[in-house]
């Protein structure tokens, strides 16, 4: 079928950008004043016999009065103009969004304007590719972006414009000028959805290293099957072959490395990294693989790069070890009582909320044995000292084990022969079973979070987040390399698991037993992160939560499985590229079993099923994301890794 193109040209069907620069008539005021108005008010439709594209405004017109040059950070906070493009037909469509300058504009220096589309890095309008105008009254047209839509698929864009901070009073050609422009969309029918490689070449050209990586995407049967719901059917480990596979993520289609891969090496910032995947937004996700200054000086460098370690005492592939979580913090400052967040559901969080009250477990955790000849103390109530984080029984009663009965269900105890014991928890009696000795069932009572929302409020840094932030601040922040790092999300999947049992009530707060999604792989392996609150980003609050300090995080268990990690506790895999011979943390919660928070790790034998309490110390392998098309040289081998530096 011949491609058909329909342009949006009628004034009533066009988004109008009306920017007026006016010199203020007051002595001493030297900056221009802006008025920015979007005048379109109707929904636009582009239609042909084979498809329809709707162009719909989602927000009111932007109006900036008496504006002045501002920084990019300020520009990003401006209220955007939001519009949605929808492909309403059964055909595939490609589209191109242009900003066309009309002939009634008198501003000709387009380097004075900054434009930001979506979450893309703000750029000078003049830096966009100049294309053929489609409007009869347009003098210049700038291509803002291109894309593709499947049938019934939509895409939404936020558009922001502002005066660049570098404009000064000396730039007289910006004064008393008018800038008028219109957004146009060119859409055409296509007979198939382009591959990742084809889309990459369309944007960055055939010489792009990123595109050459995508050209290796496996189209045969070597990759796991992707289900309609986006989950991936990983049925076995991969330790022999190497693949580049695909699966949906929160940005689009992600291309991930799997198995015995040898061409995903990167040397960046003075460190070796392994590419995990190319994210759906085109950013490049990498995991730390060693200090180049150390490894390059080793006589057995090639062996170290291949195996990840020299011996168990030399952990080249990690920056050190850390607990995942340990002491409670309040407003990100360690509490004076030195209480442990491990004893609360909040402890599975990469960040977590302040504790706010006493929680009594509603499901029995375990039993204590009360021998017939022992006297232990029980009470019908307790007191709590928040300053010391200590519980004390109120008017305790000594009870012989031989006298225990169901009468004491609902009472409280320290399981102690000392009436005046004070500790940071209380046992609540849930059952009493007497044979020879009494078996006393109990649930914990602690001071902690009183709702799942509170437990998952991103107020306090976990120990491992603080550890990673300190490393980033010392080694990447403020360097020339930082500008290459993207604000792409990290997923701390705190959604609840579906494979529940009577021992878990899935409440997700305090001491309530809770299984999270990665309590079992039967909950589905995926690269999408269902809750925005768990999508950790720095500035992006559209897709992510905007709660990070720096754009650094950890690998998650989904990525380990997809990379080829073995399923089944104790089964080893030393053949896939994430194997290091050391145990290192992921950021995937496992469960809270009633007494402690547990998070997943990668075992020293390469197994993906490791999990343990968050107070344990394991290896830390930072994960960062490079911006789209950052790689400029190298072939991805250990001897010639990809680099952001041109040769």
Does residue 30 surpass a pLDDT of 50?
A: no
Core vs surface per residue 123-133: b (16+ CB within 10 A) or e: bebeebeeeeb
Does residue 428 surpass a pLDDT of 90?
A: yes
Banded model confidence at residue 307, pLDDT cuts 50, 70, 90: low
Domain boundaries, the chain: 5-190, 321-336+344-350+453-626, 357-448
Does residue 48 surpass a pLDDT of 80?
A: no
Task: Please state, in angstroms and rounded to a whole number, the distance separating the CA atoms of residues 369 and 376.
Answer: 11
Between 151 and 243, name the one with better pLDDT.
243
Banded model confidence at residue 17, pLDDT cuts 50, 70, 90: very low
The dihedral through the CA atoms of 330, 548, 620, 596 has a sign that is positive
Helices (H), 246-371: 292-295, 301-307
Closest Cα to residue 285, out of 219, 378, 394, 210?
Answer: 210
- DSSP letter string over 398-424? EEEGGG--GGGTT-EE-S-S-TT-EES
Give residue 313's pLDDT.
Answer: 53
Between 392 and 120, name the one with better pLDDT.
392
Mean local confidence (pLDDT), 118-134? 87
pLDDT tens readout for residues 503-562:
899 999 999 999 999 988 888 899 999 999 999 999 988 889 999 999 999 999 999 999
Does residue 338 surpass a pLDDT of 70?
A: yes
Mean pLDDT for all residues in the chain: 85
Give residue 174's pLDDT.
Answer: 64
Task: Find the range with the poorest average confidence among 93-102, 216-225, 250-259, 484-493.
Answer: 216-225
Beta-bridge partners for 248: 253
The dihedral through the CA atoms of 211, 212, 217, 219 has a sign that is positive
Task: Report percent pLDDT > 70 for the chain.
Answer: 87
pLDDT tens readout for residues 86-98:
887 777 888 888 8
> Among the ranges 149-153, 234-238, 468-472, which has the highest mean pLDDT value?
468-472
Give residue 527's pLDDT.
Answer: 96
Does residue 466 surpass a pLDDT of 90?
A: yes
Between 145 and 327, name the one with better pLDDT.
327
Task: Please state, in angstroms and rounded to a whole number, the distance separating the CA atoms of residues 462 and 485.
Answer: 22
């Amino acid at each position: 079928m011949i491609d058909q193109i329909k342009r949006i040209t009628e004034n009533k069907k066009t988004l109008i950008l009306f920017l007026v620069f006016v010199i203020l008539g007051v002595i001493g005021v030297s900056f221009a004043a802006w008025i920015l108005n979007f005048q379109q008010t109707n929904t636009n439709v582009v239609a042909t016999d084979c498809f329809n594209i709707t162009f719909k405004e989602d927000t009111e017109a932007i109006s900036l009065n008496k504006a002045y040059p501002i920084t990019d950070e300020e520009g990003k906070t401006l209220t955007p103009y939001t519009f949605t493009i929808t492909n309403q037909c059964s055909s595939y469509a490609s589209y191109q969004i242009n900003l066309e300058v009309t002939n009634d504009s008198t501003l000709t220096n387009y380097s004075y304007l900054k434009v930001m589309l979506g979450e893309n890095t703000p750029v000078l309008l003049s830096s966009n590719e100049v294309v053929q105008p489609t409007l009869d009254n347009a003098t210049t047209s700038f291509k803002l972006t291109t894309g593709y839509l499947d049938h019934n698929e939509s895409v939404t864009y936020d558009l922001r414009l502002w005066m660049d901070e570098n404009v000064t009073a000396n730039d007289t050609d910006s004064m008393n000028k008018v800038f008028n422009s219109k957004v146009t969309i060119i859409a055409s029918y296509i007979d198939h959805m382009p591959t990742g490689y084809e889309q990459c070449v369309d944007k960055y050209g055939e010489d792009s290293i990123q595109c050459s990586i995508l050209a290796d995407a496996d189209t045969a049967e070597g990759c796991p099957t992707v289900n309609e719901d986006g989950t991936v059917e990983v049925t076995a480990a991969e330790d022999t072959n190497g693949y580049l596979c695909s699966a949906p993520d929160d940005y689009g289609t992600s291309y991930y490395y799997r198995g015995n891969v040898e061409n995903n090496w990167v040397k960046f910032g003075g460190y070796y990294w392994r590419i995990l995947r190319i994210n759906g937004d085109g950013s490049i996700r990498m995991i730390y693989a060693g200090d180049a200054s150390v490894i390059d000086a080793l006589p057995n460098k090639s062996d170290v790069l291949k195996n990840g370690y020299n011996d168990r005492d030399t952990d080249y592939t990690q920056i050190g070890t850390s607990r995942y979580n340990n002491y409670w913090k309040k407003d990100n400052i360690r509490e004076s009582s030195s209480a442990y967040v491990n004893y609360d559901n909040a402890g599975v969080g990469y960040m977590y909320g302040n504790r706010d009250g006493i929680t009594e477990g509603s499901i029995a955790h375990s039993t204590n044995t009360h021998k017939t000849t022992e006297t232990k103390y029980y009470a019908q109530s307790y007191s709590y000292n928040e300053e010391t984080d200590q519980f004390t029984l109120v008017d305790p009663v000594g009870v012989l084990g031989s006298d225990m009965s169901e009468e004491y269900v609902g009472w409280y105890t320290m399981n102690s022969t000392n009436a005046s014991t004070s500790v940071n928890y209380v046992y609540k009696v849930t059952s009493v079973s007497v044979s020879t000795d009494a078996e006393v069932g109990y649930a914990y009572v602690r001071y902690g979070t009183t709702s799942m929302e509170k437990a998952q409020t991103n107020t306090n840094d976990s120990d491992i987040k603080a550890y990673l932030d300190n490393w980033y601040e010392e080694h990447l922040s403020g360097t020339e390399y930082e500008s290459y790092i993207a604000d792409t999300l990290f997923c701390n999947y705190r959604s609840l698991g579906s494979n529940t049992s009577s021992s878990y009530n899935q409440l997700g707060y305090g001491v309530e037993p809770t299984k999270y999604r990665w309590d079992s792989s039967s909950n589905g392996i995926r690269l999408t992160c269902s809750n925005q609150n768990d999508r950790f980003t720095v500035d992006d609050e559209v897709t992510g939560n905007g709660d990070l300090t720096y754009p650094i995080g950890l690998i998650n268990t989904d990525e380990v499985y997809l990379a080829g990690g073995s399923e089944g506790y104790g089964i080893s895999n030393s053949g896939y590229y994430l194997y290091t011979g050391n145990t290192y943390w992921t950021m995937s919660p496992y469960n809270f079993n009633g007494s402690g928070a547990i998070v997943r790790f990668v075992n020293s034998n390469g197994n993906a099923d490791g999990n343990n309490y968050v107070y344990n110390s394991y290896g830390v392998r930072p994960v960062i994301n490079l911006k789209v098309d950052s790689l400029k040289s190298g072939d991805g081998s250990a001897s010639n890794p990809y680099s952001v530096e041109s040769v």
